[in-house]
């Protein structure tokens, strides 16, 4: 459905329990899993941002955060 109808250029799946992050990029109507860069982040050039994980404290909660 995402590939054929919605065609979102990028999407990510983050599992809080495991800290696993997967990011996919739509290329030629097929989603391809991206590899992280040297900092462990996933560049999203159309937004000029990178998606990654951060271990830290926010509002008194020490977690692995999606940023």
Going from N- to C-terminal start, the domains of the chain cover 2-66
Place of tokens 């992050």: 21
Going by pLDDT thresholds of 50, 70 and 90, the confidence category of residue 2 is: low
DSSP code for 3: I
Question: For the segment 47-60, what is each residue's pLDDT rounded down to a tens digit?
Answer: 999 999 999 999 99
Instruction: Determine the pLDDT at residue 17.
Output: 87
Q: pLDDT for 5-43, tens place per residue? A: 788 999 999 998 898 999 999 999 899 999 999 999 999
What is the arithmetic mean of pLDDT over 56-65? Answer: 91
Residue 21 and residue 28: Cα distance in Å, rounded?
23
What is the predicted pLDDT for the residue at 4? 74
């Amino acid at each position: 459905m995402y590939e054929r109808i919605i065609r979102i250029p990028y999407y990510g799946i983050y599992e809080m329990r495991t800290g696993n992050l997967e990011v996919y990029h739509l290329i030629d109507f097929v989603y391809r899993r991206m590899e992280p860069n040297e900092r462990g982040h996933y560049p999203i050039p159309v937004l000029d941002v990178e998606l990654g994980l951060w271990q830290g404290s926010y509002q008194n909660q020490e977690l692995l955060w999606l940023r």
